[in-house]
Chain A
Amino acid sequence: MGEEPVALPSDINREMVRAALSGARAWLLPVLALACASIVTAWLVADTPLERLAFGGSVVFSAAVAVFFGLRLAREGKRRHERLLALAGIVETTGDGVVAARLDRTITAWNSGAENLFGYTADEMIGGSVSRIVPPGDEHTLQDNLEQMLEKNGMHTYEVKRLRKDGSLVDVQITLSPLRDDKGQVVGISSIIRDISERRRLEAEREQLLAREREARADAEDARALVEEQNRHLVELDRMKDDFVASVSHELRTPLTSISGYLDLMVEEGDELPASQRQYLSVVRRNSDRLLRLVGDLLFVAQVDAGRISLELATVDLSAVIAESVDAVRPVAEDKHIELHAEVDLIEMPQADGLRLGQVLDNVLSNAVKFTPAEGSVSVRAFVVEDNAVVEIADTGMGIAPEDQARLFDRFFRTAAASHMAIPGTGLGLAIAKAIVEGHDGTISISSEPGHGTTVRLELPVRTAEAAAQRYVETLL
């Protein structure tokens, strides 16, 4: 390479013939010249047959020597040529563009890789300037990189954009190396040019993906911060609500303390009061108790909300708790001529809050009596199934419309029928019952047929902590 254009495949056969001829020329001409010179000299100089024989011998010897060296030279030439051909073949078949140029940028070699890459044929480019494939304004890249190559005095690789024949730009990686003459002087440059547009595309794609990922992460981070902020806000609101409920309940209970305290005094000292006034006082008493229960219920609901419902666990005789609640509703039931049945097995709960369970039964039983018309019946059954105490409170009341059933445990929810019939209540009873039952790891469910009655079913685990632990171990085994 260098001063002469590199052989290209189409020329290879022609080149081989030329090489063979030049190899032959290398030894044939000197031998022929030497032989002719020897024969002429022999005939001119020799007089005797002996002399002629001597000359003839020297001629043959000279010819033999010439043939020997000539053959060696020819073999060497052929080998060198084969090496060149092999190199040319490699250069030609590589996918990369291989281009050689003089220092003045005149192109001296342009392989098929370069043809494919840039769209110019070797004929179009050889003899032309390298500047043809440099995008306008980027000419300095030629000089800059040439200088860097000379500075390194060896290979120099860089990445750059180059111009195709169709005017499009292509991302390439170029490796420059110096071409030297026999004396080692740099006379040209060879460039191996690799198309890296696919790599660039992948890099860009990756960059884009990374950017998108960063964006998504930023979005997620923003969302998380927002949720955190909202949570803080909610926690703050929750705390404010708790404070509010606590202070309202305090503010309500203080006057209620005076009302009920002085009422008690009045009733105790009120023997000489007329019967009508004593009855008025009992109405005041009943309503102050009701108000107090309502305040207690509100506070309890607030505690459930704050996840602070605390149960005072002890061994509880569930049958006694049920009996007390049944006794509590008995006067109202009797007033309405409602029959009260109780079929209660003796059930002991090793870990329960008797007061809270009493509250559940009070709420459920008072509902049953409230919503059952005169002459109806309310029955309570309690029994144990496996590890659960089951309490069923069934009434023959008005029942609950299907659309209302799902919302029965929502706080402050009252059925349309209850409101319509002006049956008193706050809509907190079942919400509180549910919270207490769930606080005992139990369940509460309601089945009802409008017009026929309602059954509330409680299931409460009766196993002790040890039994629960035992069961846990059994499950593990």
Chain B
Amino acid sequence: MAQKILVVDDDKDIQRLLALRLGSAGYETAFASDGITAISAARQQAPDLIVLDLGLPAGDGFSVLERLQALPQLASIPVIVLTARESPETRARALEAGVERFVAKPFESEALLEAIAAALSA
């Protein structure tokens, strides 16, 4: 069975781009566009991995991370941050919050797929 990836990003174009890239790499995808639906989608979809944008409406990526960590059934899902907010601080903060990999936008699809594969096999 294909592994499922939940993409949390408020940009529809990027959602579609990821759907294409992840789909052709053999993953199943689900989407959420803000911080609140991210948590409910994670509960319902039970994804194998979450690709999380940091700049989100209704609670930014860090608060989504916090809530994921606080829920026992969701805390173990590996998270990859995919963000345009690239700075040494956010990178350090995200890794401290338990994120597996940090990928900056714009991304090379190979680099993202590599990070996803590494996080899933970890």
Given known A-B contacts A250-B84, A262-B17, A257 and B89 have beta carbons under 8 A apart: no
Contact A303 B87 (CB under 8 A): yes
Q: Are A254 and B89 within 8 A (Cβ)?
A: no
What is the CA–CA distance of A258 and B18 in the complex, to the nearest angstrom? Answer: 10
Give complex CA distance A254, B106 in Å.
Answer: 7
- Which of A257, A264, A308 counts the most chain B CB atoms within 10 A? A257
A258–B9 CA distance with the chains assembled, in angstroms: 12
Q: Give A356 to B87 CA distance when docked, in angstroms.
A: 14
Complex CA distance for A308 and B26, rounded to whole angstroms? 40
Q: Are A264 and B55 in contact (CB under 8 A)?
A: no
Q: Does A299 contact B (CB under 8 A)?
A: yes
Is the beta-carbon distance between B17 and A258 smaller than 8 angstroms? yes
A256 and B108 alpha carbons, distance in the complex (Å): 12
Q: Which of A246, A251, A261 contacts B106 (CB 8 A)?
A: A261
In residues 243-277 of chain A, which contact B (Cβ within 8 Å)? 246, 249-254, 256-262, 264-265
Query: Could you say which residues of chain B place their CB within 8 Å of the CB of A251?
Result: 84
Q: Give the docked Cα–Cα distance between A250 and B13 (Å).
A: 15
Find chain A residues with CB under 8 A from B106 CB.
Answer: 253, 256-257, 259-261, 292
Partner of B89, one of A256, A265, A308: A308
**Contact assessment for A261 and B87 in the assembled complex, using a CB-CB cutoff below 8 Å:** no
Q: Which residues of A contact B11 (CB under 8 A)?
A: 254, 257-258
> B88 on the interface (CB 8 Å rule)?
yes
- The reply to whether B87 and A257 contact each other, CB–CB distance below 8 Å, is no
**Total chain A interface residues with beta-carbon distance under 8 A:** 21
* Interface flag for A310 (CB, 8 Å): yes
Residues of B within 8 A of A310 (CB): 88
**What are the residues of chain B within 8 A of A265 when measuring CB–CB?**
17, 20
**In the complex the two chains form, is B89's CB within 8 Å of A258's CB?**
no
Contacts of A262 in B (CB 8 A): 13, 17
Q: In the docked arrangement, what's the CA distance between A229 and B100, Å?
A: 43
CB of A246 within 8 A of CB of B105, answer: no
A window 282-336: CB within 8 A of B:
292, 299, 303, 308, 310
Q: In chain B, what residue has the closest Cβ to A261?
A: B17
Contacting A253 at CB < 8 Å: which of B89, B105, B109? Answer: B105
Interface size on B, residues (CB 8 A): 18
**What is the bound-complex CA distance between A299 and B87, given in angstroms?**
8
> In the bound complex, do residue A264 and residue B105 qualify as a contact, i.e. CB atoms below 8 Å apart?
no
A257–B88 CB distance below 8 A: no
Which DSSP category, helix, strand, loop or mixed, fits chain A's interface? helix
A252 to B86, CA, bound (A): 12
Q: Looking across the interface, which residue of chain B has its beta carbon closest to that of A256?
A: B106
Is B85 among interface residues, defined by CB-CB distance under 8 A? yes
- Whether a CB of chain A sits under 8 angstroms from the CB of B118 is no
Q: A257-B107, A261-B109 are in contact. Are A308 and B88 (CB under 8 A)?
A: yes
Chain A residue at smallest Cβ distance from B92 = A310
Chain A residues with CB under 8 A of B14: 254, 257-258, 261
In contact, A258 and B85 (Cβ under 8 angstroms): no
A265 vs B55: C-alpha distance when bound (angstroms): 25
CA distance A254 to B107 in the complex (A): 10
Query: Is B55 touching A250 in the complex (CB atoms < 8 A)?
Result: yes
Within 8 A of A (CB), among B8-33: 11, 13-14, 17, 20-21
A256 to B107, CA, bound (A): 10
A260 to B20 Cα, complex, angstroms: 14
Which A residues are CB-close (under 8 A) to B84? Answer: 249-254, 257
Query: How far is the CB of A458 from the nearest CB of chain B, in Å?
Result: 23
Residues of A within 8 A of B13 (CB): 258, 262
Q: How many whole Å from A133's CB to the nearest CB in chain B?
A: 83
Q: Which 8 A-B pairs have the closest CB atoms?
A: A253-B84, A257-B106, A310-B88, A257-B105, A258-B13, A261-B17, A250-B84, A260-B106
Residue ranges of A at the interface with B (Cβ–Cβ < 8 Å): 246, 249-254, 256-262, 264-265, 292, 299, 303, 308, 310
Q: List 8 extra interface pairs beyond A254-B55, A257-B107, A310-B88, CB under 8 A.
A: A253-B106, A254-B11, A257-B105, A260-B106, A261-B106, A261-B109, A299-B86, A299-B87
Q: List 6 A-B contacts (CB under 8 A).
A: A250-B84, A256-B105, A257-B14, A261-B17, A265-B20, A308-B88
